[in-house]
Amino acid sequence: MTMAASTGNGNTTWMSKLPEPISNLPLYYLAIPGSHNSFSADLDRTQDVSIDEPGAIKFLGKIGGKGIICNWGKCQTLSIKEQLEAGIRYLDLRICRNPKSKQLTFLHGLYGRPVEELIANVQSFVEVFSKEVILIDVNHLYGCSADDVLRVFVSKMDEKLLSKDRLADSSQPPSLSNIWNSKYGTPRVTLFLNNHACGFDNLRIYSPWHNTDKHEALFQKLDTQKNNNNSFNVSQGVLTPQTKTILTNHSLKAFVDKTGINSRFMEWLKKKKSGRENGINICICDFIECNSYIDTVIGMNTEC
């Protein structure tokens, strides 16, 4: 796979443009735009309902309801390649072993593309844009283990991209400067499994799920969410559809538009700061192309 050196998007190389004081900070003090269920633009209606769903949803799929499942499983419209070019630097993943193909595959109600395709997209991107750093967080596993996922990444991705020992100073928390100045390779990708950063002894990520379809309740919970020190922390700007939500809306996209959750999330973020003292770190939302989300998050780094 090849990737053009220029995409015409001003955020494609946003990390490389950060001033030195910010690039010297640990990555968990930066504001980093991410996507929720990052892979879900490519769900496949021709396959069975995925193994993460209960029996009632599987029955719905058997009686012609895969279109409904797809409408609610799809949290993004942009491909992984398009998201990276747009400025997304955190990918939120659900992975299973597909019962038929036996491949490691993404899923969310329906099956998506093989994991190997994401690895190829990420590697192509960082090979062209060598100062950009990608965080890959595997949040849910079905029918496979963390070791299974790690083996695929190690076998399919250039090993120099994943190794802690290739940092300029591996005793320090990862910063952009520490990564850029490595003498031993180009460690541009951090993989998180079971909330731990692979290759790091004590580097963790926390991503609380607030499980509500009401924006008032969501922001109350986000306001009281406390960061874990010396760790990556995710603010999930997403509403979780309940049964009534699904019965009264055509799709997740329609629900997101109706509630205005992305606009409200942007308003909430504009009142926050990145950096130390419980600052904003990683953010995720559905349909990341909406409401200047990426610009808003990247712009917070001027206040670190």
Residues marked as catalytic: 36, 108
In 146-273, beta strands by DSSP E? 189-193, 196-197, 205-206, 232-236
Burial 31-52 (b: 16+ CB within 10 A, else e): bbbbbbbbbbbebbeebbbbeb
d(CA 255, CA 245): 8
Name every residue whose Cβ is closer than 8 Å to that of residue 46 and which is 6 or more positions away in sequence.
none
169 to each of 165, 201, 206, how far by Cα in Å? Answer: 8, 14, 24
Longest dimension (CA), the chain: 58
Q: Which two tokens stand for residue 252?
A: 């997740």
Bridge partners for 234 per DSSP: 282
295 exposure class (CB count in 10 Å sphere: 0-12, 13-18, 19+): middle
Residue 107: strand, helix, or coil: strand
- The DSSP string of 239-256 is ----HHHHHH-S-HHHHH
199 to each of 79, 89, 202, how far by Cα in Å? Answer: 28, 19, 9
